[in-house]
Amino acid sequence: MVMIAEWMMMFDREQLRMVLALFVVAVIAAVLLGLTNMATRKPIAMAQKQTLQRALQQVLPEHNNDPQAQVIDVDGFAIYPAREHGVLAGLAWQVIAPDGYSGAIRILVGVHPDGRILAIRVIYNKETPGLGDGIVHNKAWVNSFRGRGLEGVRWKVKKDGGDFDQFTGATISPRAVVKAVKGALIFYRDKRAVIMRRLSGKLSRKVKAPPPRNQSVM
Amino acid sequence: MNKQAVFAEGFWHNNTIFVQLLGMCPLLGVTTSAENGFWMGAATLLVLLSSNLVVSMVRGVIPKNVRIPAYITIIAALVTVVGMAMNAWVHSMYLILGLFIPLIVVNCSILGRAEAFASKNSIVDSLVDALAVGLGFTLALLLLGGVREMLGQGKLFGFPVFGTSYPDVLMFVLPPGAFIALGFILAGINLINRQMAARTAAAKKAQVMRAEAGSVGTASVGVEAG
């Protein structure tokens, strides 16, 4: 205490006033931030859940379970199962294409239990509006993934000798997405047994019929 | 202080974007559509109102030497609050503007208003100033966002305005388009201001001439009388 008092003596009144003013401002700011965090934590979590929910609806087939409540973790991927009356109808998880034109692209892939794509949805990207962001808005292109599996499909853009279109003036974004989706399917092929084992506690192994190809999304 | 004069000054005569050319980063970054521009403007307006309010409340309490760190702490806290609130209640917009919201902290117009106005004026005047500057900023973002969205994608607020056959002019969506559109907007605004100035000048001149004519008249009368 004495030492602190001596130390304080080294400052004159004006300096103490400055320190005190900044201290009070910082404390008030901290309290304000804490209160706001408390007030917004739940709504933010809910908004994020709803955003994910909407995206999941778009890549998963009809289901009557809550995929977010039954999520499992396999190798750091959060895998959301869709079940119709307890029967596994599809799985969805997020993959990241690190090689987009401007930064990483996050994609939600919906996969049928037989290892074919149900649907994909780009949930985050910073690609060029009007060019690369066709990976979000170009419905025909997005739908071209439907029903494709690893077998008999060349997982490249046409420019690279593959089966997927690129866009006029934008090859990098579709290329990155195609590569990432292919990676998701390879992950599923390699980890299928693990995934099924993790899920099997709660469901039968029966699988619904695969979806028809090129069925419209919305 | 005259509230109307304060408002006109902040909103138009000293508009952050059109006249001072400050805050270019959010302006050019987010104005790819009218809606983005509007929400960025709204967020900035909210921060301005609260920062001007707080700074004006603590004016005289904060020692001069530490006022800038104190103001910046206040502004940074308020921006974070606005960001969290947007994340919670306008989540889809937060996903689009997310990157730019923290940058409101370094929007020099906000610290500028705190330093140049709120720290020297009453709470009410500071709020009027914040409202004027914030609305002026929003107007600029909305205008530029609207122009870019129309020219770039043929839409306004997401609705097609030029029909479906409109060829999207990609350049206006990309950053160079922002500079070009801003240049034309600035030219237009200077034109308006110059015409307004010319009109007031002409009116004044006419008044002066009338007054002179009057005084000459009296003078001649005086001579005659002499």
Round to whole Å and give the CA distance between A69 and B67: 50
- Bridge partners (DSSP) of residue A107 are A95, A122
Which residue from A124, A117, A65, A125 is spatially nearest to A92, judged by alpha carbons? A117
Token pair belonging to B195:
């015409």
Q: How many CB atoms are located within 10 Å of the residue A112 CB?
A: 25
Q: How many helices (H) and strands (E) does chain A have?
A: 5, 6
Provide the phi-psi class of B121: left if phi over 0, else alpha when psi is between -120 and 50, else beta. Answer: beta
In percent, the amount of chain B with pLDDT more than 70 equals 94
Confidence of residue B152 (pLDDT cuts 50, 70, 90): confident
Say what the pLDDT of residue B2 is. 83
pLDDT at residue A218 greater than cutoff 50: no
pLDDT digits (tens, 9 = 90+) for A55-70: 999 999 988 888 888 8
A142-156, A203-217, B82-96, B197-211, range with the lowest pLDDT: A203-217
Which residue from B182, B10, B25, B34 is spatially nearest to B102, judged by alpha carbons? B25
pLDDT at residue B220 greater than cutoff 70: no
- 8 A C-beta contact, residue A94 and residue A110: no
Round to whole Å and give the CA distance between A129 and A126: 8
Confidence of residue B21 (pLDDT cuts 50, 70, 90): confident
With both helix axes pointing from N to C terminus, report the angle between A13-59 and B67-89 in degrees, rounded to the nearest 10.
20
Round to whole Å and give the CA distance between A159 and A161: 5
Across A179-183, average pLDDT: 94
Q: What's the Cα-to-Cα distance from B140 to each of A42, A184, B22, B103, B134, rounded to whole Å?
A: 34, 44, 11, 17, 10
Taking only residues 64 to 93 of chain B, the set having a beta carbon closer than 8 angstroms to any beta carbon of chain A reads: 65-66, 69-70, 73-74, 76-77, 80-81, 84-85, 87-89, 91-92
Say what the pLDDT of residue A45 is. 92
Q: Are the Cβ atoms of B32 and A22 closer than 8 angstroms? A: no
Across B164-183, average pLDDT: 83
Question: Under an 8 Å CB criterion, which residues of A touch B?
Answer: 14, 17-18, 21-22, 25-26, 28-30, 32-33, 36-37, 39-40, 43-44, 47-48, 50-51, 124, 128-131, 169
pLDDT at residue B92 greater than cutoff 60: yes
Q: Which residues of B touch A30 (CB under 8 A)?
A: 77
- A218 or B54, higher pLDDT: B54
pTM of the prediction?
A: 0.73
Say how many CA atoms lie within 13 Å of A29 toward its Cβ: 22
Token pair belonging to A83:
């079940």
Say what the pLDDT of residue B96 is. 78
Across B149-165, average pLDDT: 81
Say what the pLDDT of residue A94 is. 93
- B25 or B196, higher pLDDT: B196
- Bridge partners (DSSP) of residue A167 are A170
Q: Which residues of B touch A32 (CB under 8 A)?
A: 77, 81
What's chain B's average pLDDT? 85
Say what the pLDDT of residue B28 is. 83
Confidence of residue A203 (pLDDT cuts 50, 70, 90): very low
Token pair belonging to B82:
């606005």
Token pair belonging to A122:
């780009």
- Bridge partners (DSSP) of residue A164 are A157
A41-45, A153-157, B29-33, range with the lowest pLDDT: B29-33
Of A14, A28, A29, the CB nearest to B63: A14
Round to whole Å and give the CA distance between A82 and A84: 7
Say what the pLDDT of residue A43 is. 94
- B23 or A204, higher pLDDT: B23
Round to whole Å and give the CA distance between B178 and B172: 6
Q: Are the Cβ atoms of B88 and A32 closer than 8 angstroms? A: no
pLDDT digits (tens, 9 = 90+) for A109-150: 999 999 999 999 998 888 877 788 889 888 899 999 999 999
A147-156, B141-150, B207-216, range with the lowest pLDDT: B207-216
Say what the pLDDT of residue A183 is. 94
Q: What is the 3-state secondary structure (H, E, C) of chain B?
A: CCHHHHHHHHHHHCCCCCCCCCCHHHHHHHCCCHHHHHHHHHHHHHHHHHHHHHHHHCCCCCCHHHHHHHHHHHHHHHHHHHHHHHHHHCHHHHHHHCCCCHHHHHCHHHHHHHHHHHCCCCHHHHHHHHHHHHHHHHHHHHHHHHHHHHHHHCEECCEECCCCCCCCCHHHHCHHHHHHHHHHHHHHHHHHHHHHHHHHHHHHHHHHHHHHHHHHHHHHHHHHHC
pLDDT at residue B200 greater than cutoff 80: yes
Which residue from B148, B155, B154 is spatially nearest to B177, judged by alpha carbons? B148
Query: Residue A150 has what DSSP assignment?
Result: S
| Residue B63 forms contact with A (CB below 8 Å) | yes
User: A72-74 and B159-160: which strand pairing?
Assistant: unpaired
Q: Are the Cβ atoms of A22 and B69 closer than 8 angstroms? A: yes
Of A22, A40, A50, the CB nearest to B66: A22
Q: Are the Cβ atoms of A43 and B32 closer than 8 angstroms? A: no
pLDDT at residue A209 greater than cutoff 60: no
Structural domain boundaries in chain B: 3-192
Of A22, A30, A44, the CB nearest to B70: A22
Q: Are the Cβ atoms of A43 and B88 closer than 8 angstroms? A: yes
pLDDT digits (tens, 9 = 90+) for A69-113: 888 988 889 999 999 888 899 999 999 999 988 889 999 999 999
